[in-house]
Amino acid sequence: MSQEASRSIRGDGGELRARAHRSWEDDVLPALVRYTAIPCLSPDFDEGWEASGHLAEAASLLQAWAEGKAVDGLRAEVLGGSGRTPLLLVDAPATGGRTGTVLVYGHLDKQPPLGEWRDGLGPFAPVREGDRLYGRGTADDGYALFAAVTAVEILDAASIPRPRVVVMVEASEESGSPDLPGHLDALGATLGSPDLVVCLDSGCLSYDRLWLTSSLRGNLVATVSVQVLTEGVHSGGAGGIVPTSFRLLRLLLDRLEDPRTGEVRLAALHADGRPERSQTVPPSWNAAEAFPVVPGLELEGTSDEDRLVRRAWSPVLAVTGMDGIPAVRDGGNVLRPSTTAKISIRLPPTVDAASAKAALESTLTAAPPSGARVEVRVDGAANGWAAPPIDAWVDHAFTRASEELFGTAPGSFGEGGTIPFLAMLTERYPGVPLVATGVLGPGSNAHGPNEFLHLPMARAVTVATARLVEAAGARSPGAAR
């Protein structure tokens, strides 16, 4: 960015930071607490989501909050119908003669509780402890709407001109965003061609600077079922004659990964080479401390640097659920008729998910072990995302925000998770700058028990979003330079 364009970015960093802090304490947190209490599970985890009305309730709460902001001309609308999960669209018109559009993305659907939360906490019973707000969906991704709209509000309160800002909050991201393409098609004319897309659903390696996401892995979600009997029988009578469905399932999973090392065996699930990507390893980051591992566990990878690269660019399989297996207290001497596993395979950013899906299905269904009945159903296949080189003006605005907030430059890293939205937007809007950032840092435990939102980081991302919006406006024709 030229020095002239740089000087067009206005406002004191301390002023925006102070406004963001007041807004979060006085206005955002009470509404975020109410949102956290809603069990608005993603459709994959709540088949009766329409009847329960939890997704609609959450969307209505966020809509009402947005409509109450001191932003001239702001409109908030919940879209949906025809079996499609709701989508909240907040539209704030440009100010100060600026032109263009910034699109900010988040989601309101949640993962299930998953596991035992520690004493005093619960997934839908929000609790604040110092700088942490505990509860399911606080960080992933309930904070996003509040951060985006507050960014607009603090810019307007500081009389800093900005372009139009559209905030899009979907409700099926945790299920692979199956409804998002339909919403995007319907909103084509409304969205137009954004000048900048900001995704607030990503993470950070530490809480001492802002973080840019340089890549995201893709994802395959499938269920694999092995049936050996039409009903359960006494294990003493059938044992040694009828092969167990669990053992045959293990054999199938061994086709996918090496059981000793965890390395994925299918070539179609590996990237051709590992592109060099900018990656920052903060001195404070330690893999053994970043995750709640048991004492003495041997981690995969040769070093923390290698582990971050593996997380970003290696395929990996996880069994995330099982059916057909009784709880231990209910397990009798029965040779069970079937075992079903739900698996999640993270794919390197550049691997085509459709090709990976075909390889997975053919590998698991070929020559069923012992002639068992094997069924494979792929429930989702999402491409990953590798960020293009960042535009200079975007880099300047993000760096400025990190230095204002933390006194240090931002970091960048490859995220191990999946955000289907970014791959969709890259295809839909080629060449448009995309910024992925977020609050999911050490210990925040998205998808697991004891999820929390780190409030200082949420406020920092709010200010960073404001700076990005401001910088996009500074590029408007006729803006002072």
Residue 279 has which token pair?
A: 């990656």
Q: pLDDT digits over 393-422, tens only?
A: 999 999 999 999 999 999 999 999 999 888
CATH number at residue 390: 3.40.630.10
Q: Could you list the residue range(s) of the whole structural domain that residue 347 is in?
A: 218-281+312-382
DSSP β-bridge partners for residue 46? none
Whether residues 129 and 173 share a domain: the answer is yes
Closest CA to 198 of 472, 476, 442: 472
Residue 395: its pLDDT value, please? Answer: 96
Arithmetic mean of pLDDT over the chain: 93
Closest CA to 409 of 422, 421, 400, 418: 400
Angle between helices 29-36 and 54-67 in degrees, nearest 10? 170
* Alpha-carbon gap, residue 22 to 16, rounded angstroms: 10
Give the pLDDT mean for 266-287: 78
Same domain? 18 vs 91: yes
Q: Which amino acid type is present at position 478?
A: G
Cα–Cα distance measured from residue 107 to residue 105, given in angstroms and rounded to the nearest whole number: 7
The total number of residues shown for the chain amounts to 481
The answer on 47 and 140 residing in a single domain is yes
**166: its two tokens:** 């559209």
Residues 352 and 394 in one domain: no
Structural domain total, the chain: 2
Answer whether residue 254 shows pLDDT above 70.
Answer: yes
Task: Give the tokens for residue 434.
Answer: 């995309």
Among 175, 416, 204, CA closest to 312 = 416
Q: What is the CATH number of the domain that holds 249?
A: 3.30.70.360
Structure token digits, residue 264: 């994925």
Residue 11 reports pLDDT greater than 90: no
CA 272 to chain centre: 25
Q: Which of 365, 382, 399 is the last residue of a domain?
A: 382
Tell me the residue ranges of DSSP E strands in 217-370.
Answer: 218-227, 233-234, 316-323, 334-335, 338-347
* 150 and 239 assigned to the same domain: no
Identify whether 290 is part of a domain.
Answer: no
- In a shared domain, residues 338 and 405: no
Q: Point out the domain boundary residue: 382, 404, 435.
A: 382
Task: Count each helix (H run) and each strand (E run) in the chain, helices first.
Answer: 16, 18
Query: 386 forms bridges with which residues in the sheet?
Result: 215
Q: What is the pLDDT of residues 132-163, one digit of tens each?
A: 999 999 999 999 999 999 999 999 999 999 99
CA distances from 182 to 12, 178, 200 (A): 41, 8, 21
Residue 275: inside a domain:
yes
Q: pTM here?
A: 0.87
- Specify whether 337 is located in the same domain as 397: no
